[in-house]
Amino acid sequence: MKNFDLTQILKDCPKGTKLYSPIFGEVTLVGIDNDKYCPIIVQHSTREEETFTEEGKFCGCSSAECMLFPSKENRDWSTFKTEPEQPQKFEPFQKVLVRNSDYNWRIGFFDFEGGPVERHYYYIIGRDYPFDQCLPYEGNEHLKDTTDRPSKK
């Protein structure tokens, strides 16, 4: 794709959207800061942030080729679907798996959700801190104590 602007493609994606870079491997979208020369901000496995240009070039290597893609297998931005996932609703005391970022899934009982409209946080009984990911335990038992991603249905 020539003359494409990834900031326009990624602007409506939620924080945490999974992407891929041959330099860093799997990365997650932190956000877009259009006031910066390299406006696309991602975080890799060591929790460090890196930046990319509108064309997906690694900041500091603007003469290089695109180094930011939808996934390891998909390097075609024209096929990227940016449908934001709707937060799932849980019942109090429902058995769930929770985690933050890509840490291990842990089991708990759902208590409540909170946070700003654009970002949901999930709380489980017995913990005072929030989690940014929550899944029903039923059907996802195999994820407990792993960093695996849930399969898309």
Could you read off the pLDDT of 107-116 as tens digits, one per residue? 999 999 887 6
Minimal CA–CA distance to 99: which of 75, 121, 68?
A: 121
- When mean pLDDT is compared across 30-39, 54-63, 65-74, the lowest value belongs to 54-63
Euclidean distance between CA atoms 7 and 39, whole angstroms:
7
Contact 13/29 with Cβ under 8 angstroms? yes
pTM over 0.85: no
Contact 128/122 with Cβ under 8 angstroms? no
Strands 121-124 and 95-99: unpaired
